[in-house]
Amino acid sequence: MTEVALPRHLLGIAGLDRAAIVELLSLAASFSEVAERPIPKVPALRGKTVATVFFEPSTRTRLSFESAARRLSADTMTFTAATSSVTKGESLRDTVETIEAMGVDALVVRHRAAGAPALVARWVTASVVNAGDGAHEHPTQALLDCYTILEALAPPGAELPGGGDCSGLSIGIVGDVAHSRVARSCALAFEALGAAVTLVGPRTLLPPSLEGWPVAVASDLDAVLGELDVVYLLRLQTERMRQARLPSLEEYRERFGLTEGRARRLRPGALVLHPGPMNRGVEIDASVASEHATLVTRQVRNGVPTRMAVLFRLLGGAR
C-alpha cells in the first residue's frame, strides 16, 4: 500500500483527500484484528506517550482514545478540565504547554470552542488530534462512521471493506446540523468517499449558509426517507427550544424523529447510525433504537481501531 502524506496533526476532515481517508480506514481494518487477540496489544507505539486533554466532559471518546493508545502500547495521561487548574483560571496555552513539558508525543484535545485544537497545534511540538471542537469538527467520529458503514455493507473478510468506496450510497444526516461537529466532519468524509449526502432538518437547525458544501438539503424527512441507504441521526440538545429554534421536542419527533412508522418505510437493509448518546423518544423511538442497536454498538467498537490508526499514522507511521 502506498503511503500518503498526512500532516503532523489531525485537526479535521477538511484538508484530507480521499486517499488519506482510505489509508486511515485501511489501517483501522488491520488494527481491528488486534481486539480479537488474547492479549489485545501491539508494540507499535511503545515508548510514546499520548495525553487526552479534555476541556469538555466526554467519557466515551476519551476512553476510546485511551484504549486505542494502550493497544498500541503507548503510555497515556489524562487531563480533564473539571479536575485541573483550568478552574483556577489557567489559560489554554499554559495548560497545554505544561502538559507537553511532561513529555508527550500526542495531545488528543477536546474543547467547547471551535478551533481550539488548531491553536494548540501552533503552540506545541507534539502531534495534535482533534477529539471534537465546538461545532467545528470531530474527525475520528467521521472516520469510524465511514468504517462502520463500509463494514456493514461489504462482505466480511475484505481487507478494507468495500475498498473504501461509498459511491452510489445515499446518506441522510438528520437533525441539528448547525451545532454539530459530527455532521460537519461526516458530510466531508462521506462525500470524499463518493456518497451523496443530504442534510435533513428544519431551517433553524441547518447552517445559515451551505455555500461550498457538497450536499443536498431537505426539510421534509418523509420526502427523502425512502431513498436513503444510511440514516445518520444527530443528537438534539434541549436548549434549542430556548433559542426558539424548535417549538417542542414532540414536534421535532413528529417531523424529524425516526419513529416506528418511519422505520417501516426505510429501504430494505438501510443502516441507522447515531453518534450517541441517544435521546430515545426524540430523534429515535426506543423500539427503533433497540432494533438498530447492533450498528450503534459497532460504531463504538470501531472507534478503537480507527483511533489506533490515527495515532499510529501520526506517531508511528512513515512520514
Partner 1 sequence: MSPVGSAVGAGGRGTGTVLVRGGTVVDPGGPPAGRRADVLVEDGRIVAVTDGLEVPPGALVLDAGGCLVGPGLVDLHTHLRQPGGEAAETVATGARAAALGGYTAVVAMPNTTPAIDTASVARDVLALGRPATCQVAVAGAITVGRAGERLAPLGELAAIGVRLFTDDGRGVQDGGLMRRALEYGRDLGVVLAEHCEDEALAAGGAMHEGAWSSRLGIAGQPSLAEEAMAARDIGLARLTGARLHLLHLSTAASLALVAAAKAEGLPVTCEVTPHHLSLTDAEVASFDARFRVNPPLRAADDVAAARRACTDGVVDALATDHAPHPVEAKEAPFEEAPPGMLGLETALSVAFSVLCRGDGPTLSPAALFGLCAARPAAIAGLDADGQGGPLQPGAVAHLCVFDPDETWTVSGAESASRSRNTPYEGRTLTGRVRHTLYRGEVVVRDARAQR
The residues that touch partner 1, with contacts defined as CB under 8 A, are: 14, 91-93, 111, 113-116, 118-119, 133-137, 178-179, 181, 184, 207-213, 243
What are the distances in angstroms from CA 176 to CA 2, 219, 252?
38, 12, 11
- Smallest gap from Cβ 137 to partner 1, in A, equals 7
* CA angle (118 as vertex; 115, 122 as ends), nearest 5: 140
Nearer to partner 1, 71 or 179 (CB): 179
Nearer to partner 1, 62 or 179 (CB): 179
- Smallest gap from Cβ 117 to partner 1, in A, equals 9
Residue with cell 429501504: 267
Nearer to partner 1, 136 or 313 (CB): 136
DSSP H/E element including 88: none
- Smallest gap from Cβ 215 to partner 1, in A, equals 11
- Smallest gap from Cβ 221 to partner 1, in A, equals 21
Nearer to partner 1, 26 or 61 (CB): 61
**Rounded to whole angstroms, how far apart are CA atoms 256 and 262?**
9
Reduced to 3 states (helix: H, G, I; strand: E, B; else coil), residue 217 is strand
Nearer to partner 1, 93 or 265 (CB): 93
Residue with cell 433497540: 290
For residue 130, what is its C-alpha cell?
482533534
Nearer to partner 1, 176 or 283 (CB): 176
Nearer to partner 1, 111 or 262 (CB): 111
Q: Which amino acid is at 180?
A: S
3-state helix, strand, coil in the chain (%, to 5): 45, 15, 40
What is the secondary structure of 153-167 as a DSSP string?
A: HSPTT-SSGGGG--T
- Smallest gap from Cβ 212 to partner 1, in A, equals 6
Contacts of 29 (CB under 8 A, 6+ apart): 147, 159, 160, 161, 305
Rg (CA), the chain: 19
- Smallest gap from Cβ 208 to partner 1, in A, equals 5
**Rounded to whole angstroms, how far apart are CA atoms 206 and 271?**
23
- Smallest gap from Cβ 122 to partner 1, in A, equals 9
